[in-house]
Amino acid sequence: MEKKRRTSLFEKLLLIVGFFVLVIGYFFINKAFVSEGFVISWGFLQTVFLWLLMVIFIILLAIGEDIKEGILLEQLDELRELKEGLLKKKNR
């Protein structure tokens, strides 16, 4: 049976920052599009590209944090099993 893990404070803050980047980025992209006269220009493409890079970076950061937490929990379980095994062997 798989154990449920709780989300850390870092993951909660990352979620809030991710939503903030998505919403604020959308408004900045819209503002850049309007200021360029509803024409796709080089500045608009740079704005969109940088916004997408930030979104991808936040997603990769969240994935990395999840993987790290999973590895740490697996190592903790292995250490507990080793400790129990050593204690059983010592009590024999």
Determine the straight-line distance between the first and last CA of the chain, rounded to whole angstroms. Answer: 30
**Pair 70, 11: CB distance under 8 Å:** no
The full set of domain ranges for the chain reads: 11-87
**What mean pLDDT is predicted for residues 14-32?**
91
- pLDDT tens digit string along 56-88? 999 999 999 888 988 888 899 999 999 999 888
- pLDDT tens digit string along 35-52? 888 888 888 888 899 999
**Cα 62 from Cα 12, distance rounded (Å):** 10
